[in-house]
Structure 1
Amino acid sequence: MNGAAASGGLKSAFSYCVQQVRNYDYHHYLCLLELPPSMRKAAFALRAFNVETARAMDVASDPKIGLMRLLWWREAIDKIFSDKLIEHPTAQALSSIISDHKINKSWLKRSVEARINDAQREVGEIPETIEELEKYAEDTVSTILYMTLQAGGIKSTAADHAASHIGKASGLLLLLKSLPYHASRNRLFSYIPSKVAENHGLLVNQGGPPEICMDSREGMCDAVFEMSSVANAHLQKARELAATVPKEAHSVLLPAVPAQVLLDSLNRAQFDVFDPRLARGILGIPPLWYQLKLKWHSWRGKY
């Protein structure tokens, strides 16, 4: 392939990444537009990779096909780091930013391994503690922020710590938002830990594996509140670090804003994840209001 064709192919690969993020992760798409132009390509490639792996199980008609897709991505990462060409636009964009920015392979692997482990859970198998979900959020969401910081050449322990907290908050809240979707697909609340369910009288044990009872709306709201409180504590900790986080890292940490918006929307709905208001606009608020919030934080260099 000649140089012009290669760069044309790469250009269309990055365009594909932007489109994927815009279509399937719109609240983060708007966050990425606030990044300095020099960081956007890498950020969109990383978010597109996250979209591919996060949606693998949802778009597959059969869970086995979804799992095969995730295993394909695990193999693709090894191939990329061995300089092998892969005919997939997101993989091509990733390959380009990995070679430009020396992105850490272990973070990409951690992200896809966490998705594989989640996909391999037995139907009805539920995590025991919130800590297990925090680890899942760290592995799938915080890692994207770490790699974006790395791509921007930002080396800061404080920024990494803030990214860890924001990823955990964001991951937990998005799992809560997805509860109605998972319940409609398989009638299961696979992302409410058994310890939390037990605290609120939602755990039923009828001889087989424990199940989460869907009858008590009040108990469900209380369980969601308990998990949201953990997410809120992570956001608070991330903001407490703001004074020590380098200025150039603040735009990378803007995903704290959509996490806060979702938390506020849950609060308004009294932590009822089935409230139809949560599905309106962007994370429960009008798009213009969301964009203004984001711009305001970005302009002030806050997250």
Structure 2
Amino acid sequence: MAEPDPTLVEPVRERDLPRYYSVLFAPQNVREELFSLYAFAVEAEKVADVVQEATLGEIRLTWWRDSLDLAVAGQASGSPIVDRLALALRERGLSADALVALTEARHGDLYADPPATLADLEGRMGETQSSLFQLGGLFLGGEAGEIAEAAGHAGIAYGVAMSLWDGARARARGRLVIPSELLQTVGLSPQEAYSAEAKELVAPIGELVTFGRMHRSRAAAALRNVRGRARSAFLPLHAADVLLARIARDPTRFLVSPQPMPALSVLSRMVFAGFGMGR
């Protein structure tokens, strides 16, 4: 069987390494579909980093959404990522609604306003991350009802961990994942948080780490209902464990300078967890 198209693989390897690793534990005949799903999400996430004006970002995100609609209807979109993903959705009779919602949620990345509350953060992570756990599990043969709760909590835990790990880059670009309600507890407005000393954000980051770990724990409990190969879609949660632990030890480090993904630690956790899943 041919290896997955590099056009699908490389965006995931470059920007979402834990999910890239997780696909390697999936059956070979599903890997290309999974890479197309995660590559689509990566391309939507990248928009905010490559545009200079929010209006241009709005146009790009609308193009991704409209291209997916076109491809799901059976027409060529002009994007190998979108065309392969749409084929996978059609073959499984799955709706593209969650991916449309993902592109809509990414519009928020184009602006400086952080989420107002933890509930708002949960909603954002649900649309941008939980949907990927859900669809990944479905691509791997899981049942929607068995996956849903685990996917919901997993997306929040993973999204918080990855966002905090990228805190220095995001802050430099004028974006912040820390909700306004947590900033207010230390007397900071969102605007002040961008220029505040890193030590002033230690307490809010600690709250977010606790929040992420709470959802990680709930995801672990819900994963008892997820059977078979679908469990490999949840392997990125082990990256969240590694990242949250390191952030908790030294929160300011992740606001001062960008940190490389601890690839070996993440992969070793996944290998250990993946032994019992079967291939």
Among candidates 254, 269, 278, match of residue 250 of structure 2: 269
**Letter paired with 2:162:** L
How many residue pairs are counted as aligned between the two chains? 277
Q: Which residue of 2 aligns with 1:40?
A: 31
Alignment map for 1:13-32 (pairs within 5 Å): 14-32=5-23
Alignment map for 1:112-131 (pairs within 5 Å): 112-119=103-110, 121=111, 123=112, 125-131=113-119
Among candidates 120, 123, 146, match of residue 134 of structure 2: 146
Determine the C-alpha separation between the residues in 2 that align with 1:97 and 1:19: 19
Q: Does 1:224 find its partner at 2:205?
A: yes
| Offset of residue 275 of structure 1 | 5.7
| Offset of residue 43 of structure 1 | 0.9
* C-alpha contact 1:127 1:191 (8 A) present in aligned 2: yes
Determine the C-alpha separation between the residues in 2 that align with 1:272 and 1:222: 14
**Letter paired with 2:29:** S
Determine the C-alpha separation between the residues in 2 that align with 1:291 and 1:76: 34
Among candidates 176, 201, 209, match of residue 190 of structure 1: 176
* C-alpha contact 1:104 1:147 (8 A) present in aligned 2: no
Determine the C-alpha separation between the residues in 2 that align with 1:154 and 1:266: 32
Determine the C-alpha separation between the residues in 1 that align with 2:163 and 2:248: 16
| Offset of residue 297 of structure 1 | 0.7
Among candidates 242, 247, 252, match of residue 228 of structure 2: 247
Greater Cα radius of gyration, structure 1 or 2 = 1
Root-mean-square deviation (CA), in Å? 2.3
* C-alpha contact 1:134 1:172 (8 A) present in aligned 2: no
| Offset of residue 254 of structure 1 | 0.6
Q: Identity of paired residues, percent?
A: 23
Q: Does 1:70 find its partner at 2:61?
A: yes
Q: For the structure 1 residues 181 and 288, does the alpha-carbon distance in structure 2 shift closer, same or farther, using more than 3 Å as the test?
A: closer
Determine the C-alpha separation between the residues in 2 that align with 1:271 and 1:289: 21
Answer with 165-174 or 110-119: which moved more.
Answer: 110-119
**Letter paired with 1:295:** V
Q: Which residue of 2 aligns with 1:7?
A: none
Going by fraction, where is helix more abundant, 1 or 2?
Answer: 2
Q: Which residue of 2 aligns with 1:290?
A: 266
Q: Which residue of 1 aligns with 2:71?
A: 80
* C-alpha contact 2:4 2:32 (8 A) present in aligned 1: no
* C-alpha contact 2:115 2:180 (8 A) present in aligned 1: yes
Q: Secondary structure at the match of 1:19?
A: helix
Determine the C-alpha separation between the residues in 2 that align with 1:141 and 1:197: 23
Q: Secondary structure at the match of 2:173?
A: helix
Q: Which residue of 1 aligns with 2:259?
A: 279
Q: Secondary structure at the match of 1:250?
A: helix
Q: Does 1:165 find its partner at 2:149?
A: no
Q: Which residue of 2 aligns with 1:257?
A: 238
Q: For the structure 1 residues 289 and 169, does the alpha-carbon distance in structure 2 shift closer, same or farther, using more than 3 Å as the test?
A: closer
Runs of 4+ in 1 over 6 A off after TM superposition: none
* C-alpha contact 2:153 2:215 (8 A) present in aligned 1: yes
Q: Which residue of 2 aligns with 1:103?
A: 94
| Offset of residue 12 of structure 1 | 9.5
Determine the C-alpha separation between the residues in 2 that align with 1:301 and 1:268: 31
